């Protein structure tokens, strides 16, 4: 076994104890997988000393990543607000959203054109024409586009319109898609799977980074728990944990966590207080008429209220709001 370790160019260590023998392999442990040490009967455990997500980890990259897109920044000390409808429904509504974002100095508009819906009979989004409507808003107001890509075959089309490609919760472990977006030059907003551990989340980020795309934004959007009083449980603990483990920016989606607009502002403020680098929040000119996620979408007055509260809190937290 020691010979096998040495043959990979790693330094083998032999540490006999009274009951067990510990073997060490010093070097890049990615190569050690090829030995399949865990298959040997005499091997109890194979433990990596450093984290398995080399590129996402702070161990080898202690400085925080700051992502810059057309003079806008995502990452500390900035606090980035991404706001917009769950789905792009028609031109008028996205233009109205563009207008309020400009008034509130928010530079990123979210909006789904390809929607992952639980039911195949629900509204699936406008597809490419939805992306064209967002591009018109960008032309008029300069708002950058954050939009979901659901399938590796859509990546090229969506990337021609998007400034940031969103990978939805349901696709966090769609490794073909992760590799594909890793080959683009667009920043990727990666949402945490609703049943994914932090380690799995970071391994998914690693897939994108390993393809050469260094601009990954992590998004905590609530996980499934036993609680049924709200849509998901916002895992606020994940924020300081992720900030400790990775150099990548971490943002929060209070809308899909809450599932109800009554709780969104509280969760958004908690995200800032916990050290998140921004939020992605759903807003709608007439939430009661929204085709998707209206219940959790903030009305425009509620969104203004949130921005006002953020400005006060940012002064305390030392965050820069645009
Ligand atoms: C969304 O952002 O509209 C969405 C579908 O989010 P998630 O993937 O987190 O469910
Ligand atoms: Mn939604």
**pLDDT higher than 80, residue 30:** no
- What size, in residues, is the chain? 322
Residues with a CB atom less than 6 Å from ligand 1 = 86, 112, 116, 168-170, 191, 221, 253, 256
* Pair 51, 45: CB distance under 8 Å: no
Beta bridge partners of 283: 298
Task: Tokens 């917009």: give the residue.
Answer: 84
Greatest extent of the chain over all pairs of C-alpha atoms, in Å: 75
**pLDDT higher than 80, residue 29:** no
For residue 23, the CA-to-ligand 1 centroid distance in Å is: 45
* Pair 125, 87: CB distance under 8 Å: yes
* Pair 222, 232: CB distance under 8 Å: yes
Using CA atoms, how far apart are residues 220 and 263, in angstroms rounded to an integer?
Answer: 16
* Pair 319, 278: CB distance under 8 Å: no
Helix crossing, 300-317 with 91-103: angle to 10°? Answer: 30
**pLDDT higher than 90, residue 128:** yes
Using CA atoms, how far apart are residues 108 and 144, in angstroms rounded to an integer?
Answer: 5
**pLDDT higher than 90, residue 106:** yes
Whole-number percent of the chain with pLDDT over 70: 100
For residue 31, the CA-to-ligand 1 centroid distance in Å is: 36
Peptide bond into 77 cis (omega under 30): yes
Confidence of residue 231 (pLDDT cuts 50, 70, 90): very high
Give the model confidence (pLDDT) of 38-56 as tens digits: 899 999 998 888 889 999 9
For residue 110, the CA-to-ligand 2 centroid distance in Å is: 10
Whole-number percent of the chain with pLDDT over 90: 88
Closest CA to 89 of 280, 254, 289: 289
Using CA atoms, how far apart are residues 276 and 270, in angstroms rounded to an integer?
Answer: 9
Alpha helices in 47-145 (DSSP H): 91-103, 128-141
Q: What is 67-317's CATH number?
A: 3.20.20.70
Confidence of residue 319 (pLDDT cuts 50, 70, 90): very high
Domain spans, the chain: 2-39, 67-317
What does R_g of the chain's alpha carbons equal in angstroms?
A: 22
Main-chain phi, psi angles of 301, to 5 degrees:
-60, -35
pLDDT for residue 289: 98
For range 171-193, the mean pLDDT: 98
Handedness of CA 267, 269, 272, 277 (dihedral sign): positive
121 burial type by CB count under 10 A (0-12 exposed, 13-18 middle, 19+ buried): exposed
Give the model confidence (pLDDT) of 145-155 as tens digits: 999 999 999 99
Closest CA to 275 of 92, 79, 98: 79
pLDDT for residue 26: 85
Using CA atoms, how far apart are residues 20 and 322, in angstroms rounded to an integer?
Answer: 58
For range 181-207, the mean pLDDT: 98
Closest CA to 302 of 272, 270, 262: 262
Given ligand 1 and candidates 82, 83, 84, 86, which is best to mutate, with the most ligand atoms within 8 Å of its CB?
Answer: 86
> pTM, whole model, 2 decimals?
0.93
CA torsion 22-25-31-32 (nearest 10°) is -10
Give the model confidence (pLDDT) of 240-284 as tens digits: 999 999 999 999 999 999 999 999 999 999 999 999 999 999 999
């Amino acid at each position: 076994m020691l010979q096998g370790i040495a043959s990979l160019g790693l330094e083998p260590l032999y540490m006999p104890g009274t009951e067990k023998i510990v073997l060490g392999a010093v070097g890049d442990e990615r190569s050690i997988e090829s030995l399949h040490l865990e298959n040997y009967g005499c091997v109890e455990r194979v433990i990596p000393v450093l984290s398995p997500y080399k590129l996402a980890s702070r161990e080898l990259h202690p400085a925080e990543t700051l992502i810059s897109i057309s003079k806008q920044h995502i990452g500390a000390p900035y606090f980035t607000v991404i706001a917009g409808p769950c789905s792009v429904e028609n031109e008028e509504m996205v233009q109205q959203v563009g207008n309020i974002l400009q008034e509130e100095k928010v530079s990123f508009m979210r909006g789904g054109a390809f929607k992952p819906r639980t039911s195949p009979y629900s509204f699936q989004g406008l597809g490419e024409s939805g992306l064209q409507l967002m591009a018109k808003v960008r032309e008029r107001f300069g708002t950058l586009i954050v939009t979901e890509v659901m399938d590796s075959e859509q990546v090229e089309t969506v990337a021609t319109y998007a400034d940031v490609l969103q990978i939805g919760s349901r696709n966090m472990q769609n490794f073909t898609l992760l590799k594909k977006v890793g080959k683009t030059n667009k920043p990727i907003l990666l949402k945490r799977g609703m049943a994914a551990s932090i380690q799995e989340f970071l391994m998914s980020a690693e897939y994108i980074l390993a393809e050469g795309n260094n601009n990954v934004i992590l998004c905590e959007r609530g996980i499934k728990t036993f609680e049924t009083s709200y849509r998901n449980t916002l895992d606020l603990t994940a924020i300081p944990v992720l900030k400790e483990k990775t150099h990548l920016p971490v943002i929060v989606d209070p809308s899909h966590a809450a599932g109800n607009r009554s709780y969104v502002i509280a969760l958004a403020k908690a995200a800032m207080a916990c050290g998140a680098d921004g939020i992605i929040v759903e807003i709608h000119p007439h939430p009661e008429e929204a085709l998707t996620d209206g219940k959790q979408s903030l009305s425009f007055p509620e969104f203004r209220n949130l921005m006002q509260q953020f400005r006060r809190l940012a002064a305390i937290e030392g965050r820069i709001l645009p």
